[in-house]
Amino acid sequence: MSVGRVLASAAAVAAMLSAAQAMAQPAGHITGLAGAYVKSKDPKALAAWYRDVLGLDVRAWGGAILRYDAPGHPPYGLWSAFGEHSEEMAGSTRDYSINFAVDDMDAFVARITAKGVTILKREEDATGKFAWILDPEGAKIEFWQPK
């Protein structure tokens, strides 16, 4: 299943769930993604790349805080497992992929290509605009501008 279809399915499910339904769950359940952590051969260099090239506000402790309530951010995040030979991970040398939401895909792509980043692919579907790159350690990174 393509990421676009996963996003469209998730959006449909999210739209069907009212706040009251979500609150009706018993205590002891996952409420959202609270962090993403990656192993790195050189964590400082990788953090600097994410800061200098992608624009993450990497703090002195080596990470960034990504707020769900940022303007233009989608009201949900996704978790999904792909098969070992999934095309969704094609080109990646890592076992994970990260999807970042962006506010303006065209401006974002222009900014990162000006810094030497190669765009692997771009597409647009009913859920928004997408672009994919590889980070310096070979992880496939997806960017999504929701519609």
Q: Is residue 34 part of a domain?
A: no
Do residues 130 and 122 make contact, with C-beta atoms less than 8 angstroms apart?
yes
pLDDT, tens digit (0-9, with 9 covering 90-100), for 41-98: 999 999 999 999 999 999 999 999 998 888 888 888 888 898 888 888 888 989 889 9
**What are the φ/ψ torsions at residue 13 (nearest 5 degrees)?**
-65, -45
**What are the φ/ψ torsions at residue 109 (nearest 5 degrees)?**
-60, -40
Q: Looking at residue 5, what is its pLDDT?
A: 47
Report the residue count for the chain. 147
Higher pLDDT, 10 or 106: 106
Q: Is residue 33 part of a domain?
A: no
Q: Is residue 102 part of a domain?
A: yes
Residue range of the domain that includes 110: 3-23+41-146
**Rounded Cα–Cα distance for residues 147 and 134 (Å):** 24
Task: Answer positive or negative: Cα dihedral of 69, 40, 44, 143.
Answer: negative
22, two tokens? 């979500």
Residues whose CB falls within 8 Å of the CB of residue 101, separated by 6 or more in sequence, listed in order: 72, 73, 74, 143, 144, 145, 146
Q: Looking at residue 77, what is its pLDDT?
A: 84
* Single pTM value for the model: 0.80
Count: domains in the chain? 1
Q: Is residue 116 part of a domain?
A: yes
* Domain CATH number, residue 67: 3.10.180.10
